[in-house]
Amino acid sequence: MTATESTGLPRSVVLAYGVGGTGWVLVDRLVLTWLYVAYVTAPDGGEPLLLPLTFGAIMFAGRMVDAVADPVIARWSDSHRGRRGRRIPFLLVSATPYVLVFVALFFPPVDGRSGWNALHLGVLLALYFALFTAYVGPYLALLADLGGTVRERVDLATAKAVATLVGAGVALIGSGPIVEAFGTSAMAVGFGVLALALLLVPTRIPETALADPAPAAMPLVASIRTTLATRPFPRVLVGINALWFGFNLVSLNVALYATSLLGMGEGGVALLMGALFGVCLIAFPLVSRAAKRLGLKRAMVASLVGFAVVLPAIALLEAPPFGVPSLVAAVVVMGLAGIPLAGFFIVPDAIVAAVADVGHRDTGQRREAMFFGVQGFTLKLNLGVSTLVSAGLLQFAGDPLGVQLTGPVAGLAVAVGAVAFRRYPEAEVEAARAQLGIDEAEATG
C-alpha cells in the first residue's frame, strides 16, 4: 500500500513534503560526518585545525544557539498570519542562507591550528544552527497540520523517511569518494547546490488550501510551560532523546570506524552506510505497517531496543570474535542497525504530532510547532553533549579505544530510553484525539 492510497492528501503534496527532508538531512549528515573530520584530523605533514575538545566545545556552543532558537521559531511559526500559511514562509526565507552558511563552514580561513579557525567555526555554526531551525521546525510542524489521522501522519512520515534516507544515503555514501578525490570544500559546494534545489520543493505545497488553522495566541513562555506540562510529552522527550544520542554518537564516528577500526580510506564510509541504509530502506514498509497496526508506542520501543542490542557490537569491529574478518563484521553490524533505524526515521515525528493533539484538546489552540520546538531544544542540547562525549572519548581514551567505546556508550543510552518510554500513555493520547473527533479506527485499522 502506498502513502497516497491510504490518505486524502494529493500525491504531489506527499512527495513534495518528503523531498524537503532529503535536502535538510543531506546537509545535516554532511555536517555531522565531515565537519568533525575536517577540523580535528591532521593532513599529511600538517596539524589539525582544532583539538578535538576545542571542536566539541564550539559545537556545543552552536547547539545552545540552536536550542534557544527552537522554541522562539516555533512560537513565531505557530502565531504567524501569512498569505501562504504558518509554515511555508519560513521554508522560503531560510533555505538559501542555510545552504550558503553550510558551504562556508568547509572553508576555514587558515591552514593549520589557529584561533581564526575557532572563531570562523563558532560564528558560522551559530548561524548554521539558527537557520537549520528556521527551516526544520516549521517543516516538521507542517506534518501535523497536513495530516489529521495517525494513518495520514504515518504516511507523511514514511514519505519523509524514504526521502531523508535518500538524503542521508547520498551524503554518507556519495560524499566519501568525493572527499577522498577532491577534498571537503569541493564536496560542500557540490552538495550545497543540490540541497538548495531540494529544500525549495516543499514551498510549492498549497498549505492554506489543505490546512489553515487559526494562529495560536499563547505567549512564548506560557506556550513552553504548557507544552512541557502536557502529561505524555516528557516521557516522549526521554525516548526520542535517547534514540538521537545513540544515533548521533555513531554518526559522528562512521568515518573513524572506516579509517581507524577497519584500516580503510574515507571511501570506506560508503560501504558501511550502504549496508545501514540499504537494510533500512527494505525495512520501511514493514515498520510503516507495524506502526499503523500495532501502534506507535510498540514501534518506538522496538526501535530503541534494536539499537540498544546492536550498537555495543561496534566495540568488537577492530578484532571480531571467532575469526570473523573486521569488514564482514562491520557490514553485518551496520546492516542489523538498519532495522531499528527505519523506526527512528518514521515513528518519532508521528508520536510528537499525536501528543500535540493532546495539547490542542487541553488549550484549544493549535501549537504543533511548539511541541516540535521544545523537542528540538532538548535534542540540540543532547547533540551538543553527544559531540562532547565523542570528543572526550577520542581525546582521553585515545585512538582506537575511544572510537570503539562509542558503540557501548550509545547502546547504554538507548537502553535507558527504552525503559523510560515503556510507560508512554498511548491510551490517554488516543482518548484525547477521540475527544477532538479524530477517527482513530480509520487511522489505525
pLDDT tens readout for residues 259-268:
889 888 766 7
Cβ atoms of residues 367 and 78 within 8 Å = yes
Residue 84 lies in a domain: yes
State the total domains in the chain. Answer: 1
Q: Going by C-beta distance under 8 Å and a sequence separation of 6 or more, which residues neighbour residue 76?
A: 90
The answer to whether 292 touches 151, Cβ cutoff 8 Å, is yes
Residue 3 lies in a domain: no
Q: How far apart are CA 75 and CA 371, in angstroms?
A: 10
- Mean pLDDT, to the nearest integer, of 145-149? 75
The CATH code of the domain that includes 15 is 1.20.1250.20
What pLDDT, on a 0 to 100 scale, did the predictor assign at position 44? 59
> Residue 227: pLDDT band by 50, 70, 90 thresholds?
very high
pLDDT reading at 3 higher than 60? no
With cut-offs at 50, 70 and 90, classify the pLDDT of residue 43.
low
Cα dist. 320→239, 284, 309, 324 in Å?
A: 30, 29, 16, 6
Per-residue three-class SS string for 276-300: HHHHHHHHHHHHHHHHHHHCHHHHH
Does 186 fall in a domain? yes
Q: Would you state the cell numbers that stand for residue 61, as one nine-digit string?
A: 556552543
Most confident by average pLDDT, 217-221, 332-336, 394-398, 419-423: 332-336
> Contact at 8 Å (CB) between 420 and 232?
no
Alpha carbon distances (Å) from 286 to 280, 282, 291, 342: 10, 8, 9, 9
Distance CA 433, CA 430 (A): 5
The average pLDDT across 84-93 equals: 90
pLDDT band at 40; cut points 50, 70, 90: confident
**What residues contact residue 323 under an 8 Å CB cut-off, 6+ apart?**
none
* Average pLDDT score over the chain: 85
At residue 65, the pLDDT reads: 83
How would residue 8 be classed by pLDDT, with cut points 50, 70 and 90?
low
Residue 406, domain extent:
8-444
- CB under 8 Å to 344, separation ≥6 — which residues? 243, 247, 303, 307
Residue 330 to residue 346: CA distance in whole angstroms: 25
Which one is predicted more confidently, 289 or 115? Answer: 289
Which pLDDT value is given to residue 368? 86
One-letter identity of residue 148: G
In the block, which residue shows the cell 577497519?
A: 262
Let me know if residue 373 belongs to a domain. yes
- Give pLDDT, residue 331: 93
Mutual angle of helices 88-105 and 115-146, in 10-degree steps: 150
Share of the chain above pLDDT 70, in %: 93
Considering only CA atoms, give the Rg of the chain.
Answer: 21
Q: What are phi and psi of 107, to 5 degrees?
A: -125, 70
Cell 571537503 appears where?
A: 184
- Residue 237 gets which letter from DSSP? H
| Distance between CA atoms of residues 112 and 92, nearest Å | 37
Q: What is the pLDDT averaged over residues 96-107?
A: 94
As to burial, measured by CB atoms within 10 angstroms (0-12 exposed, 13-18 middle, 19+ buried), residue 323 is exposed
**pLDDT at site 306:** 94
Asked whether residue 42 carries a pLDDT value surpassing 70, the answer given is no
pLDDT for 196 equals 95
pLDDT tens for each residue of 111-133: 767 778 888 888 899 999 899 98
Q: Is position 1 within any domain?
A: no
Establish if 2 belongs to a structural domain: no
Q: What is the pLDDT of residue 94?
A: 94
**Residue 41 reports pLDDT greater than 80:** no
Predicted model pTM: 0.75
Determine the average pLDDT of the residues in 56-62: 83
- Kindly report, residue by residue over 156-201, the tens digit of the pLDDT: 888 888 888 788 778 877 887 887 777 778 888 999 999 999 999 9
Q: Spell 240-261 as b/e; 16+ CB within 10 A means b.
A: bbbbbbbbbbbbbbbbbbbbbb
Domain assignment present for 197: yes
> Which of 55-59, 291-295, 306-310 is most confident?
306-310
- Residue 219 belongs to a domain: yes
Q: Give the residue-averaged pLDDT of 199-210.
A: 87
Chain CA centroid to CA 131, Å: 15
Question: CA–CA separation, 191 vs 30, rounded Å?
Answer: 9
